[in-house]
Structure 1
Amino acid sequence: MLETIGRPKLRDVVAERLKSYIVTENLRAGDKLPTETELAAQFGVSRLSLREATKALEFLGIVEARPGRGLTVGAVNMERVTEYLGFHPALHSIAPEELIDTRVLIETGVLPHVARRMQASPAIFERLAGINDELRRTRSLQRWLELDIAFHRGLIEASGLSPLLAFGDLLAIFFQRFRESVKKAEWKIGLDGHQLIIESLRDGDIERASAELRHHIESHRDRLGESSCTTD
C-alpha cells in the first residue's frame, strides 16, 4: 500500500518563498521588503497566510516587522536558532560517536583563528585561564558542567567566527548526553588539558593544542556506555 504524501503547510511554503526572495534580491539586514499586501499578491496567498509565514521568520530574526516601518530583513538571531536546535528531537537521537566527531571537527578547526587572535589580544588567554581557575575551585558537578561548557564555548567565540557559535552552543546537548561520562572523568586531567591547550595557543603551537584538544574530547569514547546516553 502506498503511503500518503503529506502536504506542506501553506505557511511553510510562503516562508520558503520569502526566504528565496530575500536571497534572489540580494537583500541585507535592514533592507525594506515590499508591503504585506504586495507580497501576498506576488505569492498568490492571503495576507493572513503571509502574516503567519512572517511570524515564523521573525522568531529566528530573518524578518522584522515594526509599526510604521513595515517589513524589513532582520539579522539572524543565533541565540534563537540555538534554542530551537537544542530542543529539536532529532538532535537527541544522534549517536554519541557522531557528537564526539562533530565536536572534534568544530573545535580543532577554530584553533588557528584563536591562536592568531590571541597573539593580538592577550585578554583572550586571560579570559579562558580565568574560567579554568574557577573550574579548579568548584566541587559541584552542575557548576563544573556550566564552566566546562563556558570554556569550550569561549574557545569557539575567541575564533571570531560568530556563525559557529550556534553550533558551539550545542555543547550543552553534548554534556547533557554525556553527563554520566563527565561524572567518571578525571577532573584534574581535564583541567590540565584545558591549560595545555590555551598555553599552546598563546605560544603559537597549534599542532600541540589541536592534539591535546582532540585527546580531551575523544576521552569520552572510553567511557561510553548505556549510562552516558541517558538524561536521567
Structure 2
Amino acid sequence: MATVPRPARQSRATEAQEGVKNLIVTRGLVAGDPLPTESELMEELHVSRNSIREALKALQAVGIVDIRHGFGMFVGRMSLAGLVDELTFHSRITLQNGKNHLVNLIEIREILESGLVGRLIDLEPAADLTSVAEVIARMEAEAEAGLVSPETDRLFHDLLYRPLGNPLVSQLLGAFWDVYDKLRDALGSPDEPPGDVARRHRDIYTAVLACDRAAAVAAVHAHFEGVRNRVARIRG
C-alpha cells in the first residue's frame, strides 16, 4: 500500500511556527509584548492565512503565544499548565492500573528540594526568612486546631526558596502541588499527625537558619517520608 504523503499545509504550518518563534527571538520580544497581526505575519513569513492560524493555535497551546480576542496577539508568559495536565492524567491512569507514578514525582521533588536548601545556605548575604517564620507560626496554629491546610504547606515551600531569585523554582514546585491538588480525592486525608507536619517544616526552617547543611537535607528527607507514606497507601 502506497504511503500517503503528509499534506503540504501541515508542513507549512510547522514552518510558520518556527518562523513566529524566530521572530520573537530576533526582535528581542519578551512576555506580554505585542506580536504582528495575522496579515503582517503572512506577509513576513510568506505563508497562507490557514498556515498562520494553525501555527498560532499550536503556539498558543504551549504558552508561547497569548491570543486575546479583541485585543491582539502577545508573547505568552511561561506556564507549566500543560505539564500539570499531562502528569495528572497519566497519574490517574497508573492509579487505576494498580501502579502509582506519584511516587516518581515525589522522588523528583525531594531531590530538587534537597539541593535547594543547600543553595539557600550558600547565599551571601544570608536569606531573609522572616516571612517563612510567619508561615510556620500559622502552620503551628493550624496544627493545634487539628489540620494543617494544603495552602499553608504550599506557601511555606514557595516562600522558603524565593530568596534564590529563580522564578522557575516556584513554577516547578507549584506544578507538583497542582498535580497533588487535582488528585486530592484519590490521595485521601493525610495520616501524619498535624503536629508532626508542623514540626518537620520547622526543622527545615531551623536548619537553614543555622546554616546546617546536613541537618537541612535530613529534615527535607524526613518531611518527604511523611508524603511517601501517604501515597504508599494507594499503591497496588
Q: Deviation digits for residues 154-176 of structure 1, max 9, x if unmatched? A: 33434321012221112232353
Instruction: Give the distance between the partners of 2:140 and 2:125, measured in 1 at CA.
Output: 18
Instruction: Give the distance between the partners of 1:11 and 1:184, measured in 2 at CA.
Output: 54
Q: CA deviation at 1:139?
A: 2.8
Give the aligned residue type for 2:114: T
Q: Deviation digits for residues 21-40 of structure 1, max 9, x if unmatched? A: 434x2723166655533422
Would you say 1:179 and 2:187 are equivalent positions? yes
Gaps of 5+ in 1: none
Gaps of 5+ in 2: 95-99
Q: For the structure 1 residues 127 and 17, does the alpha-carbon distance in structure 2 shift closer, same or farther, using more than 3 Å as the test?
A: farther
Give me the TM-score of the superposition, normalised by structure 2: 0.69
Give the aligned residue type for 2:56: T
Q: CA RMSD in A?
A: 4.1
Instruction: Give the distance between the partners of 1:174 and 1:191, measured in 2 at CA.
Output: 19
| Aligned twin of 2:97 | none
Percent identity (aligned): 25
The partner residue of 1:85 within 74, 83, 86 is 83
Would you say 1:95 and 2:93 are equivalent positions? no
Instruction: Give the distance between the partners of 2:130 and 2:41, measured in 1 at CA.
Output: 48
Give the aligned residue type for 1:103: R
Q: CA deviation at 1:99?
A: 1.2
Which secondary structure does the structure 1 equivalent of 2:149 belong to? Answer: helix
Count of residues in correspondence between the two structures: 221
Question: Does structure 1 conserve the Cα–Cα contact (< 8 Å) formed by 2:91 and 2:102?
Answer: no
Would you say 1:46 and 2:48 are equivalent positions? yes
Instruction: Give the distance between the partners of 2:129 and 2:111, measured in 1 at CA.
Output: 25
Q: CA deviation at 1:212?
A: 0.8
| Aligned twin of 2:29 | 28
Instruction: Give the distance between the partners of 2:124 and 2:135, measured in 1 at CA.
Output: 13
Which secondary structure does the structure 1 equivalent of 2:146 belong to? Answer: coil
